[in-house]
Structure 1
Amino acid sequence: MVSVNPLQDLQLTLLPTTTTTTTTATTTLLTPKLEPKPEPYDDFQFQQPFLSTPTSNPTSQIQDEYNRISDAFRSAFASKTHFPQPSDDDDDASDPDSRALVPVPETQNQSVAVSSPTTPIPNPNKRSSELVRVTDYGANEQRYFREVIRKTRMIYESLRVFAEEEERQSRFWGRAGGGGRVRSDLKSASVMKAKGLWQNRDKRIVGNVPGVQIGDLFVYRMELCVVGLHGTPQAGIDFLPGNCSSNKEPIATSIVVSGGYEDDEDGGDVIIYTGQGGQDKNARQCGHQKLEGGNLALERSMHYGLEVRVIRGRKYEGSPSNKVYIYDGLYKVIASWFDVGKSGFGVYKFKLVRMDNQPEMGSAILRFAENLRNKPLEARPAGYISLDISMAKENMPVFLYNDIDNEHEPVYYEYIKTTVFPPYVYHGGACSGCDCVSVCGDDCLCARKNGGGFAYDRNGILLRGKPLIYECGSNCRCPPECRNRVSQNGVKNRFEVFRSRETGWGVRSLDLITAGSFICEFAGVVLTREQAQLFTMNGDNLVYPNRFACRWTEWGNLSEVFQDYVHPLYPSIPPLQFAMDVSRMRNVACYISHSSSPNVLVQLVLYDHSNMMFPHLMLFAMENIPPLRELSLDYGVSDEWNGKLRLCN
C-alpha cells in the first residue's frame, strides 16, 4: 500500500519516514492562516471556460483501482483530529504525527485524476500548501501511477500537435485572430490546466513524484508543470512559500539546472548551483542576489536535510524545441555560501550531492548515446557483433550488440526493409493518386481518401491514430518530400538490437524519438490464411497482425479535453486475415519486446497498392522515447514466462 506521509512541523526534530498511516506519537503543530502565495511566473491566464467533467467513461475495473489508490492517499488524513481546522487565534493544536507543514482540511485532499459529473474539481490555478512524501510503492501502485503519468503526457503531446496544426490551418485560411501567436506548448498546458488535468496539484511532493521515473525526458518546460515534477514554468527553483509553512520558512522541492547562470558548475553527481535573482533580461548578472524566495528555500532544505529533485535542461538538436529536460533524481543540499561571482556581483551558491542507490542519470545516458552515435567502437570497445545488420538497406545503420553471451541469431536472417506481399495484392487495379504538382493541400484526392485531411503535420508527426491511413504513392504526382509520404520514406533514427537478460533480444534507439514520430515498419513475408495453416502444421513461427492491440485509439485521444470528441472511424477496413512469416526474412521491428504499457503503436498504412486486406504495419512512438530506452509493443498475446511474443499459433 502507498503511504503519503505529511512532513512534520520543521520547528521540531525530523522523525524517520514511517511506512504506516497511523501512530501513537504526539507532536505539537502550529496552525497558521492558509494564505497561498502566488509563485513567480505561475500566472497563466485561460481564455477557455473551466470544465470539471471529463467526458471519458472509465471501466469499473479502472475506477476500482483509482478508488483504491486515492484511498491510500487519503488514509494519512482520515481522522479529522489529525487536521484541526485553522483559525486566526489558534496558535497550537494537538496533532498526532501528522508531519505536515500546513494542516489541510480533508476536503482539500481529494485527488482530481478522475471525477464524476456531480463532483466539482478544485480551482486548478491554485497550488496546494501541503507538503508530503510518498513512500511504500508496491508493484501495483507503480504501474498505476506510471499509467496516469503516461496518459497525461500523451494527452499533452496530442493536444500540442493538434493546437499547432490548428494554428497552421487558421493562418493558411486567413482566420488567425488578433494578437500575437500563442505557442502550442503553452496553449496545450493552459487548456489541460483549465480542464483539471494537471497532476499533483493537490499536494506538494518532496522526493520522487509517483509515476515519473529517473531518466524521463521532456521536450517542453511546461510539461514539467503538467506532471507536477517542477511547478513553475520559468523559475529555476520550485518551493513552498514561507507564508504557507507552519514556521514561516520556505522549503525547496525541485530545481532546473540548465546553465542559465555563469557561476553554475555541473559535475553530474555534484552540482554547484547558483541561486536566483540579480539578472537582466539577457540573463547577465547585474546585481547582488538576496537570501530570499528560492534561495532561502534551498538553504532551509539544507538545514532540515530534505531532498530536492534535479531536472537538467540541455540543448538537443533532434528536439522540436531544440532543448530537452531530463529528470536526474534526488539530491541533497550539503553546503551554501555567499560568494563574488564572475561578473563581480554577489551570488548565493549551493552544493548539491546526488543521493545513493538511484538509477543512472538520464543526462549521463544522453551523453553516452551521443558518443555511441559518433564513435561507437570507442564508446564500447567490446560487444558489437555488427555495425549494420541491414547491410545499408535502411537509411540509418542498425547496430547489433551483445555483451552477455555468444548468441548471434539476428545475423542469420535476411534483412528486409519493407513487407513482402503476394504478387496478386497489386493486381486489383492501380492505386489512384493525386495530381498535386508541388504541395499537397487538404483538398487533394489523397486527403479526401483519408476523410478530408492528412494524418500527419508538417513535421511528419502523426496527428491521431486512425483505422487506416492512405499515403501518397507511386501514382501521385507530388514530390518525395510531400507531407503525406512519412512512413514509406524509411527510418530516420539509428537503432540498436541488443541482448538483454530480461527480454532476450530488444531494440533501442541511439536518438531521441519524439511522440508521434514514425519509427519503422514491422516487416515480414505475408502469407494467406491457407498458407499460414500449412506453415503452422510444420511448426513454423508466424506473427498475426490481427492480434496487435489497437493502441492507435490512444494516440490523439482528446475525449477528456473536447466533449464532442470521437475516435476516427474512417477509413474502415475488414478484419486482417493474413499472417507474417519472419522465420527467414525480417527487419529490426521483429526484435521489439512485448509490454502491456508500450511506448510504440501499430498504425495501418496503404501507399503502394489499394488492397485494404493487406496494409503495411507501421510503428509510431506513443511518447517521447529517450535514447537507449527499450522500445516496446503490445502484441496482444504474450508469453507468460518471459513477456516476449509467442510467435507460433
Structure 2
Amino acid sequence: MGSLVPFQDLNLQPEPTNPRIIPKIEPKLEPLDEYTQADLQTPPFFPNPSPNFSSSGSGSSPFTRNSNVQLPTSSTVHEIPPLGSDDTTVYSEYNRISELFKEAFARKMQQQQRFGEIEVVGRNHQDSENQDLGVIAEEEVVEDPDSRALVPVSNENNQVSEVVVTKRKYQQRSSELVRVTDLKPEDQVYFRDAVRKTRMLYDSLRILTMAEDEGSQHLGTYRRPRGDLKACQILREHGLWMNRDKRIVGAIPGVLIGDVFFFRMELCVVGLHGQAQAGIDYVPASQSSNREPIATSVIVSGGYEDDQDGGDVIIYTGHGGQDKYSRQCVHQKLECGNLALERSMHYGIEVRVIRGFKYEGSGSASGKVYVYDGLYRIVECWFDIGRSGFGVYKYKLVRIDNQEEMGSAILRFAQNIRMRPLEARPTGYVTLDISRKKENVPVFLFNDIDDNHDPAYFEYLAKTVYPPYVYQNVGSGCECIDGCADNCYCALRNGGQFAYDYNGILMRGKPLVFECGPHCRCPPTCRNRVTQKGLRNRFEVFRSRETGWGVRSLDLIQAGSFICEFTGVVLTREQAQIFTMNGDSLVYPSRFPERWAEWGDLSQIYPNYVRPTYPSIPPLDFAMDVSRMRNVACYISHSSSPNVLVQPVLYDHNHVAFPHLMLFAMENIPPLKEISIDYGVADTDEWAGKLAICD
C-alpha cells in the first residue's frame, strides 16, 4: 500500500509581526438548504401525537426535528444556579446560561455527525401539560455516551423553569463495506419495491404529521417542527431506515439513477447518503478495518465558490476552514472527509453523486430537490489556493461510463422543453396541444419513431360524461363563504377531515372523497377543490417502441399530487355488453385495484392501524367508452408496480355508484419518466398490458 506525502500545514505557520484577526472557524457543511437557522437553534415544544397517529401497542413516540445543537454534558448541570426571587437576576442569569449553552452546542456539533434524539424526562414546574421536546442532530461518526442535562426554558407567560433532558442512544451505523453486484431481475424488482414502499411510507408520514401540526392551536410562539424531520425520526424509531446493517459501496439496490428526492432527510432513510447536512458521507478511520477513512457518497449543490460542475466531470472542494457564512477563512486539512476522498481515490473506490439544486415549485422548505446522478471515480486530488486566498483540497470526479443518463441533465432538458419545445426538439412534435385548449395547460404529442398520429384525431374529453339521471337530487353544499374548515358540511361527509392538505396533496387514500361542488358557497381557492380544477402539470403523449403510446410529464410531480382524471363516456352494463359485441374495448373501473389503500397506510408504524372504510361506495358496475372521446389518461401504460393510483372522487353530483376516477402520484415522478397505472389485468390478458384501442 502506497503512502501519502502530507502537504505542509499552512495553518501552523509562525504568527506574523502584526497578527490579523482570524474569524471563527465553522465546520464546512452543506448550505442550510432545508434547515433554517430557527430550525437549527430554537428548542421547540411539541404536543403529544393525536390518537389518529398513535397506537396503544407501540406507545407514543415523540415527533422530532433537526438541530445542529447538542446538550452539554452532565457536569454543566452544577453550573446552573437555583432560580431566585429577583427577576432581574433570574433573567440575566438565564440569558448568560443560554449563551454558554449555544457556545457549547456549537463546539459539540463540530465533533458529531450522528442522528440522536433529546427526550424530555422532566416537566416544567409551572406547566402541567405534558410536552415532548425533540431534536434531531446529524449522525455521529464516533459514538457518544448518553448524557443528561438541566435546560432552562420559558413558557408563554415568560416564567422560567428547568427541564431535565436525556439523549437517547441509537444503534450505531455499520462500518462494514460491501458492494452489491450481479442482481437477478427478480432481485431488482424486490429491492425496487422495497425502496418504493419505504419512500411511500415516508411521504405519508410527512404529509399526515404536517396536517396534524396545521390543526394544532396550542404551540405558543415556538416554531413548529417540519414534517420531513418528523417522518425521518419516526421511521428510525421503528427500525425502518434502509441499508443500516451494511455500508454499501457503489449503487444502492432499488435506487435508480434519476430518482428525485424533495427532502434531504429522505436520502438518509433509503441509505443513499447518511449525513443529514455534511456533504461527504464516509466511514471514519476509527470504524474502518484498516484504520483509514473511506468515502461512499457526496452531495454537489453548487454552494461552494471553488466547486466546478461540468456534469460528467466535477471539481469537488473538500470541507473545513469556512466560517458560518460559507466563506473560506483558514486553510483546509487532509483529515476526516477530505482524507476519506483521497483514500477512496487511492483504493479505486467509486462514490455516489447526488446533486442538489433549486427547482421552481419543488414544495420543499428550501426550494431545492436532490437527484441521484450515478457513480463517479476520484481520479485526482491536489492542494490549491482557492478564490478566497486560502488553501483547499480539490478532487476531480469523473462519471463512470455506460450508466443511465443523469437525472439532473433530464431535469434541465425538460425545463428547456417547457420553455422552448421546438428548439429543444426540432423534430418529433405532431402537435403542441391535443386538448385544443380544453385543459389549463397544453398536452403535447410527440412521435419520432413512426408516422402514427392517431391521438391527434380523437375528440379530447376533459371531463367524464355521465347519464342524465346521475345528476338528479344533487342536494346542497356547505355554507363556508370564507373557505372551508374541518367542521363544515363537506368535511363531515368525508368523515370529519378533508382528504387534502393546504397544498392540494392527498393525505390518505379513501374509498371515496367528497369535494366541495357547484352548490357550495366556498370560493374556488378552497382547499377541498383539487381534482375539479383540471390539469396542473404539462404532459406529453409519446410513442415508444416498448409500450406503444405512453404518457410522461414535463414537470416534476411530487408524491400525493393530482395527476388527471380518467375520462370517458359512462355506459351501463347493458350498454357495455352491446359495445363489446361490436368489438369495442372498454375501461371497467371495477378492475382497478384498490391502490388508494396503500397511500397513507401506517400499519408498519402502528399495528392497530385500520385502513379507511368511510365513506363507502358500492361495487362500480359500469364501463367507460374511450373509443371515440378520451383524454391524456387513456394513453397511460399498465404496470404491476405503478407510480399512479386511482382515487374515486365526487363533487358535481352525489350518486356514489358513479364516482370520478381521479389519478394521484404514488411517488415522486421525475420529468420525462413514463407514468404507469395498474389496470388490474395480467400482461397475458387481451389488453396485453395496455388498452388495445390505444396501442
Q: Answer yes or no: is the 8 Å Cα contact 1:167–1:176 preserved in 2.
A: no
Matching residue of 2:606: 562
SS in 2 for 1:135: coil
Answering whether residue 689 of structure 2 is matched by residue 644 of structure 1, we say: yes
User: Match for residue 616 of structure 1?
Assistant: 660
Q: Is the Cα–Cα contact under 8 Å of residues 431 and 608 in structure 1 kept in the other structure?
A: no
Contact conserved, 1:514 with 1:625, CA < 8 A, in 2? yes
**Cα contact 2:637–2:689 (8 A) shared by 1:** yes
Aligned length: 539
Greater Cα offset, 242-251 or 198-207: 242-251
Instruction: For 1:214 and 1:463, locate their aligned partners in 2 and report how far apart those are by CA, in whole Å.
Output: 28
Offset at 1:339?
0.5
* Alignment partners' CA distance in 2, 1:38 and 1:128: 21
Residue 640 of structure 1 deviates from its aligned partner by 2.4
Q: Does 1:529 align with 2:601?
A: no
Name the residue aligned to 2:172.
Answer: 126
For the residues of structure 1 that align with 2:118 and 2:612, how far apart are their CA atoms?
28
Aligned to 1:254: 297
Structure 1, gaps ≥5 residues long? 1-8, 12-36, 50-122
Contact kept, 8 Å, 2:116 with 2:170, in 1: the verdict is no
Cα distance 1:212–1:433, how it changes in 2: closer, same or farther (>3 A)?
A: same
- In structure 2, relative to structure 1, the CA distance for the partners of 1:248 and 1:258 (3 Å cut) is same
Residue 551 of structure 2 corresponds to 507
Matched residue, 2:255: 212
**Aligned residue in 2 for 1:630:** 674
Deviation track 1:426-478 (CA, whole Å, cap 9, x = no partner) reads: 12x02320000011010000000000010000000000000000000000000
Consecutive unaligned residues of structure 2, counting only runs of 5 or more, are 4-108, 122-168
Q: Distance in 2 between matches of 1:546 and 1:177?
A: 48
Work out whether 1:163 is the aligned partner of 2:209: yes
**Structure 2 contact 431–446 (Cα < 8 Å) conserved:** yes
User: How far 1:46 moved relative to its partner?
Assistant: 5.8
Corresponding letter in the other structure for 1:640:
T
- The one-letter amino acid paired with 1:438 is D
- Is 1:526–1:580's contact at 8 Å kept on the other side of the alignment? yes
Alignment of 1:235-634 (within 5 A): 235-321=278-364, 322-427=367-472, 429-634=473-678
8 Å CA contact 2:483–2:522 kept in 1: the answer is yes
**Partner Cα separation in structure 1 for residue 223 and residue 688 of structure 2:** 50
Aligned letter for 1:490?
Answer: G
Instruction: Confirm or deny: 8 A CA contact 1:490 1:520 kept in the other structure.
Output: yes
Provide the C-alpha distance between the structure 2 equivalents of 1:236 and 1:40, rounded to a whole number of angstroms. 14
Counterpart contact for 1:383–1:403, Cα < 8 Å: yes
In structure 1, what is the equivalent of residue 187 of structure 2?
141
Give the distance between the partners of 2:336 and 2:385, measured in 1 at CA. Answer: 20
**What is the deviation of 1:575?**
0.1
Contact 2:201 2:601 in 1 (8 A): yes
CA RMSD of aligned residues (A): 1.9
SS at match of 2:339: helix
**Matched residue, 1:196:** 239
Whichever residue aligns with residue 326 of structure 1, its letter is V
> Quick check: 1:230–1:255 contact (8 Å CA) kept in 2?
yes
Q: Secondary structure at the match of 2:379?
A: strand
Instruction: Please state whether the residue corresponding to 1:244 is helix, strand or coil.
Output: coil
Q: Distance in 2 between matches of 1:177 and 1:549?
A: 44
> Partner residue of 2:116?
44
What is the alpha-carbon distance in structure 1 between the residues aligned to residue 261 and residue 669 of structure 2? 9
Tell me the secondary structure at the aligned position of residue 186 of structure 2.
helix
Cα distance change on mapping 1:555 and 1:579 into 2, 3 Å? same
| CA shift in 2, pair 1:593/1:246, >3 Å | same
CA deviations on 1:147-185 (whole Å, 9 max, x unpaired) are 000000001111000111111111xxx232785422211
TM-score, length of structure 1 as denominator length = 0.81
Contact 1:600 1:622 in 2 (8 A): yes
SS of structure 2 residue aligned to 1:396 = coil
Describe the shift of the 1:610–1:202 C-alpha distance in structure 2 as closer, same or farther (beyond 3 A): same
**CA distances 1:114-170 after superposition (whole Å, capped 9, x unpaired):** xxxxxxxxx854200111001111010000000000000001111000111111111
Distance in 2 between the 1:255 and 1:218 partners?
A: 15
Alpha-carbon distance, 1:563 to partner: 2.9
| Shift in alpha-carbon separation, 1:438–1:213, aligned structure 2, 3 A | same
Deviation for aligned residue 1:415: 0.1
User: What are the superposed Cα offsets for residues 59-117 of structure 1, whole Å, 9 maximum, x if unpaired?
Assistant: xxxxxxxxxxxxxxxxxxxxxxxxxxxxxxxxxxxxxxxxxxxxxxxxxxxxxxxxxxx
Distance 2:187 2:688 in 1: 20
**8 Å Cα contact 1:288/1:346 also seen in 2:** yes
Pick closer, same or farther for the CA change 1:589–1:502 going to 2, 3 Å: same
What percent identity do the matched residue pairs reach?
Answer: 68
Q: Quote the Cα distance in structure 2 between the aligned partners of 1:406 and 1:189.
A: 49
For residue 280 of structure 1, report the CA deviation from its aligned partner: 1.5
Distance in structure 1 (CA, Å) of the matches to 2:437 and 2:484 = 31
Flag the 1:626–1:48 CA change in 2: closer, same or farther, 3 A: farther
